[in-house]
Amino acid sequence: MKEQKYFLQEQPPQKERPKNLPDNARALNDSVDWWVVGGEEDDYLPTGKRQYYFADGYLFLEVVLEEGRVIEQKFFPPNGVPKNAEWLEGIQSANSVYYENCWIVIDKQFLEKYGYYYIECYTIKGEKFRLLKFNKNDELIIDAHLKIADIPENAVWSNDWYEEWRAGETNDKGQKVGKWVSYNEFGDIEFEAEYSQKGIRISKTIYKEGGEPNKYYFYDKKGELERIEYYRKVASCEQYYPFSEGALAKKAYKIVEDSKGKLTFYDEYDELLKRTKRKKTWKKYLKPVANETAIEAYNRYITLLETLKKEHAENEDERDEIDYYKPTILKRFTLDEIKDIEKEMGFIFPPSYTEFVTQIGAFEFGRGINSECSMFIYDSLDTTRSFKEKLDYEWDYDISVLSKEEQTLMNKVVPFSYGDESLQAVYYYCFNYNTLNTETGEVEVYNLDQDDIYRLHHELNTKPTKTRGFDVHIQDVIQQEIEYFLDSYEMYE
């Protein structure tokens, strides 16, 4: 039997149940630190009260749930923290200061008389780690970082690049020597570095939440980066592991990246994993063919995904991941429905669009709030307005400042789809009927971002198009989605 090389694969020892917890408390998601009372562990949409405890018996949070939604919550400060403390979840900012997962206490007893006030910051367990002083105009005067018990006495606060506590020794020239350790303000190790007696860095180890190392840097005699080693996540905590979507990376327990970016994969016995030869059939679907229609572009993309599933997906999970990138058909129109919408809008859709939505349908990429390129299904008056009407009704824009000529131009810009997920790079995809080719019935597609609201009438093309605009648009959208997909699945490149 082969001997495992990497301690990172070992399961953490089982810990006994803490004695100072309620009898009905259970470990939260197999955690040894968090315990929960109330509700069933396998209840998908719990209702009722739940309490969350630390292993030492400290009640941290109480929530009231209604079908999985939090409708009330109350945080309980630990001993040593004033009862008026407020818990700040995640990263929040105020007065140009960032706070992260901590209790804060605002002390304004000196504000009226002396013109300043304090904010004290405590860790989740109640150790004070930061003291801030502000003047009456909320301008920061003092930002003092305080050591908690887990930080060594010789550690010095540094904010030259990363804000952290650093502990280590220097030589006569002020160069770092030996072992240096960096801690965040909560006392967690961020990384360790080893230096020679001449101040040349030899190695660096990155730690993630949970205190486990998972990324190692090694340097040559000159201090130049030689290689990086990544290790698979440990059972006790979630850790950064690169290239997680790659098939070979999923099998590997260690990845070594050299100074030129070349990757080598190893199993848990430190034996080299070799790449299996894969078919390249899918590559012929990456580029559009000459004069490709929107329907052909769409079908090419679907064929690409199906081919990748057949040639590369090794299990059901990988097939499901590929399926996620398939467009969702929102509605397939009949010709009669298209005619009714055209009558409502006062425009005739370009033939390329009509062909697509009656044969394929209106679609979107992604799901729910993460959807993008979501085409209108014209189920409300809002989606049948021209952009000029949308400015007036939805964007609260005073269109009276535009001349009649400018309003006429903008009135011929008709959105038919939302843009990217954030609606920043592209808010609407629009038909620009100012480019109508009376012989073909085709128009150009205009990608409208939020900044275009105030300058659109200056940028619109008014020359009759020589292309099938919707075909070109779908080609572009499909190519963007292919690039996004391949970036997410590096194993396919």
Q: Where are the domains of the chain?
A: 7-75, 86-145, 156-273, 282-490
CA 427 – CA 417 distance, rounded (Å): 9
Pairwise CA distance, residues 184 & 84, whole Å:
26
- Give the pLDDT band of residue 166 (cuts 50, 70, 90): very high
pTM of the model: 0.54
Q: Which comes out higher in pLDDT, residue 369 or 229?
A: 229
- Distance CA(225)–CA(259), nearest Å, equals 6
Of 265, 244, 286, 278, which is closest to residue 486 (Cα–Cα)? 286
157: phi then psi, degrees, rounded to nearest 5: -75, 135
* Residue from 55, 473, 63, 465 nearest 295 by CA: 473
Residue 100 has pLDDT above 70, yes or no: yes
Helix, strand, coil abundance in the chain, percent, nearest 5: 25, 30, 45
pLDDT per residue as tens digits for the range 386-421: 776 766 666 666 767 778 888 888 888 888 998 876
pLDDT at residue 119, as a whole number: 95
Residue with token string 């502990």: 167
Predicted confidence (pLDDT) at residue 356 exceeds the cutoff of 80: yes
**pLDDT tens profile 194-227:** 999 999 999 999 887 767 787 899 999 999 999 9
Tell me the fold of 156-273.
Answer: 2.20.110
Is 89 a residue whose pLDDT tops 90?
Answer: no
Cα Rg of the chain (Å, integer): 30
pLDDT digits (tens, 9 = 90+) for 441-491: 999 998 887 666 666 666 788 899 999 999 999 999 999 888 877 766 644
Largest CA distance in the chain: 86
Tokens of 78: 């630990």
Q: How sure is the predictor about 11, in pLDDT bands with cuts at 50, 70 and 90?
A: very low
Of the pLDDT bands very low, low, confident and very high (cuts 50, 70, 90), residue 114 is very high
pLDDT the model gives residue 244:
43
pLDDT reading at 111 higher than 60: yes
Q: How confident is the model at residue 81 (pLDDT cuts 50, 70, 90)?
A: very high
Please check the confidence at residue 28 and state whether its pLDDT lies above 70. Answer: yes
Average pLDDT, the chain: 82
117-131, 310-324, 381-395, 416-430: the lowest-pLDDT one = 381-395
Q: Where is pLDDT greater, at 435 or 93?
A: 435
- Residue 71, pLDDT > 60, answer yes
* pLDDT on residue 9: 41
Token readout for 161 is 């690049």
Q: Among candidates 276, 115, 117, 125, which has minimal Cα distance to 187?
A: 125
